[in-house]
Amino acid sequence: MVIVNKLTWVPLMLLVMPRKHVSQIQLWSSDLLTRMGNLAVDMGAMYAPNGFRILSNFGHDGMQSQAHGHIHVIGGTSLGPYA
């Protein structure tokens, strides 16, 4: 599934996640990642046609705020070298 995450530091942030609970590491070690990656690219191209970034955070030190595995799609502005 894909949801819109309302943030102020970037115009577009979508969260792509499976309905079934999996950890971030389980997600990246599974066949789900290919399907979710394809969906993330499709949604990024649709909602940020001038470019977007796909990223994922792992654990507290990696700034992961939710234990449920997910992928971020950010865009809608020039992101520069780092977001």
Annotated catalytic, 70?
yes
CA-to-CA dists, residue 46 to 22, 40, 65, 66, angstroms:
27, 10, 26, 25
Helix (H) or strand (E) holding 53: strand 52-55
Helix (H) or strand (E) holding 9: none
Each as own residue / partner, the long-range contacts of residues 33-38 (CB below 8 Å, 24 or more positions apart, any chain) are 36/71, 37/71
- Which listed residue (21, 60, 70, 72) is catalytic? 70
Active-site residues, by number, are 70
